């Protein structure tokens, strides 16, 4: 069985969750602040990215960060070229940790219109996808945001997501489609019903060999997305934590038996740069175990 086939089996049936390690320029300062790295600790964007890479490397090197519980990891584009112990990060993840590598490809969000935030243009996407395939990346992740239950806006978000997904599939990768519903939305439940209908409609337009994954906010109604998980074109439905604490995110996820986690902030909750390696590994291991149990 080829490496890609092994990875596909792991993503389709593996027990565990996907770690979101894809903090970008916009989200990195907050992530570092929670980790105990103040903005005064770095004096340039380059230094900031160096700090977040040190945090990611510490996570990846931790004892519990293996395919036994973490079946995949999403990387920021810059991380794709970084190395751990002399190996490029995507190769290290798969060969040393048995963790399938993904790449965040979106370039951030447009301003809100029609209750949603579309993805910004990605003019260099083809080149990025070629580089990702060459680097051993299995799939991609691209995020939009839905703030209100506006059917027109939600349709635009989903249509754009599937347009990008087709480009990703054409490059030989598996896209994670992520139309996040804001957990603070006053019309969250209505938005989720609209989103499910729009996704089902677009899934039915895919070809017989066009496979996608879905990354969705944990729904208000448990089991709402089961039909999506059962769709022939869907490899896996994964859940984002969306700002929920680790405990709340895990409790809500455990009620959705056909979703697994793909958490970022909930994964790194409580981790501090000042911790000893033993303290860090224990804290991370506790989070990994909670998220793993909620995912199985």
Q: Within 10 A of 241 (CB to CB), how many other CB atoms are there?
A: 25
19, 65 contact by CB (below 8 A): yes
H or E element that contains 45:
helix 45-61
- Residue 192 annotated in active site: no
Is residue 269 among the annotated active site residues? no
Nearest to 220 by CA among 192, 245, 249, 254: 192
Q: Which of 141, 188, 215, 252 is catalytic?
A: 215
Q: Any idea what the Cα angle at residue 104 is, between residues 277 and 107, rounded to 5°? A: 120
Give the pair of three-digit tokens for residue 198. 């729009």
Q: Which helix (H) or strand (E) holds 169?
A: helix 151-170
- Among candidate residues 142, 178, 192, 269, the one labeled active-site is 178
Under 8 Å between Cβ of 216 and 156:
no
The secondary structure of residue 41, as a DSSP letter, is G
How distant is the alpha carbon of residue 6 from its chain centre? 20
Question: Rounded to an integer, what distance in angstroms lies between the CA atom of residue 239 and that of residue 258?
Answer: 10
Give the residue numbers marked as catalytic: 178, 215
């Amino acid at each position: 069985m080829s490496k890609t086939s092994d990875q596909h089996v792991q993503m389709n049936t593996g027990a565990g969750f996907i770690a979101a390690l894809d903090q970008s320029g916009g989200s990195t300062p907050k992530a570092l602040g929670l980790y105990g790295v103040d903005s005064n600790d770095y004096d340039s964007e380059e230094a900031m990215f160096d700090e977040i890479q040190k945090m990611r490397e510490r996570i990846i090197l931790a004892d519990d960060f293996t395919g036994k519980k973490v079946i995949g990891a999403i990387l920021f584009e810059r991380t794709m070229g970084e190395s751990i112990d002399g190996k490029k990060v995507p190769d290290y993840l798969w060969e040393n940790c048995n963790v399938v590598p993904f790449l965040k490809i979106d370039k951030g969000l447009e301003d809100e219109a029609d209750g949603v935030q579309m993805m910004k243009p990605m003019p260099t996407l083809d080149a990025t996808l070629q580089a990702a395939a060459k680097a051993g990346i299995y799939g991609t992740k691209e995020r939009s945001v839905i703030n209100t239950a506006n059917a027109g806006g939600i349709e635009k978000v989903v249509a754009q997501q599937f347009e990008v997904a087709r480009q990703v599939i054409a490059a030989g990768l598996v896209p994670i489609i992520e139309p996040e519903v804001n957990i603070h939305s006053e019309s969250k439940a209505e938005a989720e019903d609209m989103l499910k209908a729009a996704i089902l409609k677009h899934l039915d337009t895919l070809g017989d060999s066009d496979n996608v994954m879905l990354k969705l906010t944990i729904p208000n109604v448990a089991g709402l997305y089961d039909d999506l998980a059962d769709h022939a074109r869907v490899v896996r439905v994964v859940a984002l934590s969306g700002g929920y604490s680790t405990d709340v995110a895990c409790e809500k996820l455990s009620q959705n038996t056909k979703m697994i986690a793909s958490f970022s902030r909930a994964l790194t909750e409580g981790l501090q740069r000042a911790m000893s390696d033993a303290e860090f590994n224990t804290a991370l291991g506790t989070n990994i175990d909670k998220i793993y149990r909620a995912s199985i």
